[in-house]
Amino acid sequence: MVKLLGGRYEIEEQIGGGGMAVVYRAADTLLGRPVAVKMLRPQYAGDEEFVRRFRQEAQSAARLSHPNIVNLYDVGTVNGEYFIVMEYVDGPTLKDVIRERGPLSVPEALDITRQICDALEHAHDHHIIHRDIKPHNILLTKSGMVKVTDFGLARAMTGNTLTHHHESSVLGSVHYFSPEQARGGMTDIKTDIYSLGVVMYEMLTRELPFSGDSPVSVALKHLRSSFVEPRVLNPQIPQSVENVILRCLVKSPDARYADMRAVKADLADALIHPNVPKFVVPEVVSDETIAIPVVGGISSSVDEDKPASRPAPVKKRKWWRSALWTLVALGVLMVGAFAAYYIVMDLIQVPNVSLPNVVGQSETAAVNHLKQAGFTASQIQEQKAANAKPKGVVYAQDPQGPTEVKQNRSVTLYISTGPPQITMPNLQGVPLDQAVTTLEDAGFPSSKIQEQPVNSTENAGLVVQTQPAAGASVSMDGTVVLQYSQGSMTTVPNVINMTVNQAKAALASANLQLGQIYQMPYPVQDQTVFKMVPYAAGQQVPTGTKIDLYVANNSGGSGGPAGSQNATGGTGGTSGTGGTGSTGSTGSTGSTSSTAPPTNLPSNTEVKPVEVIVPDPSGKNIAVQIVKSDITGKNQTYADQVINSKTTWTVPLYLTPGSTGEVRVYENGNLVQREVLSY
């Protein structure tokens, strides 16, 4: 039987849950939209402390209105069941994303981090500290938009949550909380900054900075231990990005960023100036005693190396003093509980109004539309920023419409100031690929960058002129033309079915250079060219361009590329080694699959080579296994050997139109490389 909550919300299925609450996907039968319903577990409905914390989440969320924060729609109690109705986000948690394809790329991780910062900045501006930032509480929509949830939620005791028994307050999730939370001290915005640093660390390394056998051991590491620096685990992280993580994770709150705006400022600069001096964590000497919450019966201990001191005489307290303090504490708790109850009840009793969708309207029209719907000028907030929409047009609103909201709910309109403008850099004399990268780093989409070859006395490939010219103000949605020198041009000759020497002579006659020679099995006459890259016969290219050749080697060789100086094909590997690169592999042992070319291949078969390079393991032995799949078979072992120096293989994938090939490389049993090619 389908459960209808409050006569309006039709519960469909459970989609999540924690220590004190369960989250369901439901349908709002009144507005016809999906929603998420969080319900307090029945066993806690009679516990005033849990009810208070559950209401605290509703109060915190009701004060927040931001695109990167899950919206609160409704709260209520039906037959003793406490529930909160929120925006339904059809997407995974950040934890799911990290598990599935972590570590994330640097640009993706920074984009997610910026959106989390925006959400936390909004919360901090409203005097709300999250205190439990972690990937589990960060949702991602299908479009990649971040939604932070669980504001003000106090979780029940679980294996990964520390609780201060004296105050019965949950301090946070052990792997992500700050040293001050572990110490049981005061928390502020610096607490969220520390947790954000842990989330960044995990996104970029797929590891946590601290782990242990118990919550207490992890808490102690947050307080005293150092962690493996992110760039050690992932060398692709720029130093500028690692600096942000290191500064967030300083154990002393005073040495961390001042606020989320400061974090965002460094994030914005991180990819523009990646090579910066390493951030040096300040050494903070503290002799204060660390108080760790008791978890699982663990108690504090004394230093056995020091002689025990004589305990001071304990004065007997009068029983009435203890009783008085107990009564005072109970009175404070009761006042707080009643106040929270009436605040939530007041929130529930506020009537709903219809919020229209004003996205795409002009600023004036949108404001008038909202006023006609019953919103006052003080409820309508405006934020202006550069956007692809024309100047003065609303490009987003929060909450999104059409929907129903509380009559006193504020509405934020995001109004475009027009597309962003940048100053055109001076790219004259810069190589074309470098000029394109410079523009893309400045924010130009590649689709707006046009490349136009022109005749010029400049060296081929250098930018001669740009449109607009250097120094001009350019709109980010405008088109930039890069005119580059093509130098003197020549026609690529057809060298297919030639020998290497014949091909080399033909290329020289056309003022072209011989590049790399790749030898591999192929069903044509031995030692003849069967493919040329990156240009085909008949194309116009600048003189001096290098042309790589693929040569059939059907006599047992299966080597990698030979140097262009070797006109006969050079140093292709021999049977039993799987092929060697320019440095060879003097210490390799093992075997490869047969190097004879497959027979009876379809006429439209294309050979797509995949180069596998295992770098110098510094004299250590590494067991390398290469497995390939193509039209000739699945999971074929191409190489299985032990090496102790740099080794290169060129693995041929035989493909036909519409087929897919794969090469997997394992080192000591661990997958280190995977290439998938389609034709």
Domains parsed from the chain with CATH numbers: 4-270 (1.10.510.10), 352-416 (3.30.10.20), 421-487 (3.30.10.20), 583-679 (2.60.40.2560)
Confidence at 348, pLDDT banded by 50, 70, 90: low
Lowest mean pLDDT among 229-233, 346-350, 384-388: 346-350
Which residue type is seen at 177? F
Inform me whether the pLDDT recorded for 364 exceeds 50: yes
Find out whether 572 and 560 touch, Cβ atoms under 8 Å. Answer: yes
Query: Residue 52 and residue 344: Cα distance in Å, rounded?
Result: 10
Taking CA atoms, 380 is separated from 74, 304, 368, in Å, by 20, 65, 10
Contact assessment for residue 460 and residue 466, using Cβ atoms and an 8 Å cutoff: no
> Percent helix, strand, coil in the chain (nearest 5)?
25, 30, 45
Q: Kindly indicate the confidence band of residue 315, based on its pLDDT and cuts at 50, 70 and 90.
A: very low
- The pLDDT of residue 200 is 97
- Looking at residue 399, what is its pLDDT? 84
C-alpha 489/C-alpha 607 separation (Å) is: 29
CA distances 570 to 253, 565, 567, 584, Å, are: 62, 8, 7, 12
For residue 449, what are the β-bridge partners?
Answer: 480
- How large is the average pLDDT for residues 174-198? 89
Cis ω before 402 (30° cut-off from 0): yes
User: Model confidence at 339, in pLDDT bands (50, 70, 90)?
Assistant: low
Give the 3-state secondary structure of residue 255: helix
Q: Taking 50 as the threshold, does the pLDDT of residue 668 lie above it?
A: yes
| CA pair distance 232, 131, nearest whole angstrom | 28
Q: Are 26 and 10 in contact (CB under 8 A)?
A: yes
| 239: helix, strand or coil | helix
Instruction: Tell me what pLDDT residue 306 has.
Output: 37
Question: 237 or 522: which carries more pLDDT confidence?
Answer: 237
Average predicted confidence (pLDDT) for the chain: 79
Position 342 scores a pLDDT of 57
Model pLDDT for residues 592-626, shown as the tens digit of each residue: 554 456 667 787 888 888 888 888 777 788 888 89
Q: What is the pLDDT of residue 349?
A: 58
Answer yes or no: are the C-beta atoms of 477 and 448 closer than 8 Å.
yes
pLDDT higher at 164 or 617? 617
Q: In what order do the strands lie in the sheet with 480-485?
A: 449-454, 480-485, 463-467
Q: Express as a percent the part of the chain with pLDDT over 70.
A: 80
Higher pLDDT, 16 or 66: 66
pLDDT digits (tens, 9 = 90+) for 130-139: 888 999 889 9
Q: Tell me the two tokens of residue 175.
A: 């792997």
pTM assigned to the model: 0.45
Residue 300's pLDDT band, with cuts at 50, 70 and 90, is very low
Token digits of residue 320: 């009435």
Cis peptide before 215 (omega within 30 of 0): no
User: In 561-656, where do the E strands start and end?
Assistant: 561-562, 589-592, 606-614, 622-630, 633-643, 647-655
Q: How many helices (H) and strands (E) does the chain have?
A: 13, 33
Q: How many CB atoms lie within 10 A of CB 433?
A: 11
Predicted local confidence at residue 651, as pLDDT? 87
pLDDT interval class at 308 (50, 70, 90) = very low
* Catalytic residue annotation: 132
Query: For residues 222 and 195, what is the distance between their CA atoms, to the nearest angstrom?
Result: 11
Residue percentage of the chain with pLDDT more than 90: 26
∠ CA 367-372-374, rounded to 5°? 100
The conformation of residue 462, written as its DSSP 8-state character, comes to B
625-650: buried (b, 16+ CB within 10 Å) or exposed (e) per residue?
Answer: bbbbbbbbeeeeebbbbebbbbbbbb
Low-confidence winner among 111-120, 227-236, 488-497, 594-603 (lowest mean pLDDT): 594-603
β-strands 561-562, 72-78 pairing? unpaired
User: Which among 25, 82, 88, 73 has a CA at the least distance from the CA of 54?
Assistant: 82
Q: What is the pLDDT of residue 19?
A: 60
Among 446-455, 543-552, 569-578, the range scoring the smallest mean pLDDT is 569-578
| Helix or strand run (H / E) with residue 352 | strand 352-355
